[in-house]
Amino acid sequence: MHTKKEFQDKNILMVYPKYPDTFWSFKHVLKFISKKAAFPPLGLMTVSSMLPKNWNKRLIDLNIKNLSEKDILWADFVFISAMIVQKDSAQEIINLCNKLGKTVIAGGPVFTTGHEKFTGVDHYILNEAEITLPLFLEDLKKGELKKIYSSYDRPDITKVPVPDWKLINMKKYATMPVQYSRGCPFDCEFCDIIIMNGRTPRTKTPSQFVAEFQALYNAGWRGGIFVVDDNFIGNKLNVKKMLTELIDWQKKHKYPFQLLTEASVNLADDEELMNLMTEANFSKVFLGIETPDADSLNECSKTQNATRSVDLAVKKIHNHGLQVMAGFIVGFDNDKDNIFERQIEFIQKTGVVTAMVGVLQALPKTRLWQRLKEEGRLLKDSHGENTSAYLNFIPKMDPAKLIEGYKKILSTIYSPKEYYERIQVLIDDYVPKFKAKFKFMDLKPLFRSFWRIGIVSKARKYYWKLMLKTMFTKHRALPLVIELAIYGLHFEKVSRFANT
């Protein structure tokens, strides 16, 4: 039985596993802005705020620094959270903790949908921690800990605490993450969001969300913020109320933050919402476009895309000052032989510069996973990488043809000519509305791009042509052009890796 003193005096080490070289890691361009990683681990920082305040807590992000045995030996408990793409690194951390005789507590997406794939974890805190972590803490007081803490109850996220920002060195990261809502009203067959967060969007209160912005501001952050919601506009009524308060806060503080988020394509239907987002200083939005093929959209239950002209929706969102980033998928049962050319044509025509294209994967416990399992078509586990020629099921299309066509998409859209053509299409449609203060440090990536892209790169002639044209015809879009030119270096390397 643990005594009260033992419960109070805990050293907690939180460890975030390493990312491989992925589409969203931006490893190849972070050096342009002197950063180590794109985002810090929001989940672990939020869990830290839910633990007893008198516990000693440290966080080590393996994307920032290495984990030493000394770090582990300091801890009473080691908390690990990870996504599927981090599973190999997570198991390595668990193995090291086991070797040193430390108690391992694991949670987060990869464990919630596949904890049975791991060895050496002492306690799992699955699903949403606002429900399951208190159960663990109560049993810890009693000295009666269980192996698994799991619940399908959905917590009221108006009670979620502000993340523990003091655990990280903000200077090491490019962007800070925050969360406004959980859940998505749609039910795409391949998506695991509803497994983790349900179909009924739950939102924080406007004052609660603005308080998180104030906490970041007080901590000294200025720059980009990623609102990491499953679907930011899942509850349009609530999000509009929140944006009204956020706009007031941004104005009062002279727009210290530039925002991006994820949403569904029906954003284009709501003029008021798009205007509120740009007024709050949102400049980018990620959409799940998936495919231009209506049969494949209906197959995966993405009817919200199948019943509209998605290319016109993208143009409309660009016209409202929001740059569309998007996800695309090949490998649906209804895909025809011409799907690869159709994907290329759509991506180029719409000016979706940041186009994440992947082969369909059956993620654990999704409706797609269940269907393919029943049909005897599952081959192996998903590895969670968004851009990879990786098949974990038997497709209807010839596998060799599918992989060859997929590689053709990547080698085409991320070749310099096509990439810079997309930037030009975006600039032609895009109406810049974001507010940002010029800082001398902004000159560093510009000058680095002069050498790395304008002199050394194969893209140099496209780079200079677009830079000069933008300076004379649409100078407010110049920061965006510079940013996308730099991103192009990363996307080219990731696509080259996916083609091996």
Can you tell me whether residue 252 is helix, strand or coil? helix
- Beta sheet of 11-16, edge-to-edge order: 56-61, 11-16, 77-81, 103-107, 123-125, 148-149
Delimiting residues of CATH 3.80.30.20 domain(s) in the chain: 157-429
Q: State the pTM of this model.
A: 0.94
Cα Rg of the chain, angstroms: 23
- CB of 229 closer than 8 Å to CB of 262: yes
Spacing of C-alpha 313 from chain mean position: 22
3-state secondary structure of 418: helix
pLDDT score of 448? 82
Residue 376's contacts (CB-CB under 8 Å, 6 or more residues apart) are none
Dist. CA 179–CA 155, nearest whole Å: 14
Angstrom distances, CA of residue 420 to CA of 352, 412, 444, 467: 11, 12, 22, 10
CA dist., res. 154 & res. 152, Å (int): 6
Token pair recorded at residue 271: 């003029």
How many helices (H) and strands (E) in the chain? 20, 14
Question: How many residues are recorded in the chain?
Answer: 500
Q: Residue 439 has what pLDDT?
A: 57
Distance, CA of 283 to CA of 271 (rounded, Å)? 15
Task: Quote the pLDDT of residue 1.
Answer: 42
Cα–Cα distance between 280 and 248 in angstroms, integer? Answer: 8
3-state helix, strand, coil in the chain (%, to 5): 50, 15, 35
Cβ atoms of 392 and 361 closer than 8 Å: yes
Q: How many CB atoms lie within 10 A of CB 73?
A: 12
CA atoms within 13 A on the CB side of 191: 20
CA distance 25 to 89: 15
Mean pLDDT by 10 residues, the chain (500 residues): 60 96 79 90 98 97 97 98 95 98 97 96 98 98 96 96 98 97 96 93 98 98 96 98 98 97 98 98 97 97 95 97 97 98 98 96 95 96 80 96 96 96 96 71 75 88 94 89 91 73
What is the model's pLDDT at position 2?
Answer: 46
Residue indicated by tokens 């969300």:
209
Per-residue pLDDT at 476: 86
pLDDT of residue 3: 46
- Residue 399: the pLDDT is 96
Domain with CATH 3.40.50.280 in the chain: 4-149
* Pairing assessment for the beta strands 257-263 and 282-290 based on DSSP bridges: parallel
Spell out the alpha helix ranges (H) of 152-299: 193-197, 206-218, 236-252, 271-279, 294-299
- Confidence (pLDDT) at 305: 97
What is the token pair recorded at 237?
Answer: 């009524």
Q: Using alpha carbons, list the distances in angstroms from residue 198 to 83, 183, 193, 432.
A: 18, 5, 7, 35
- Write out the CATH class of domain 4-149: alpha beta
Pairing of strands 77-81, 103-107: parallel
CATH number belonging to domain 157-429: 3.80.30.20
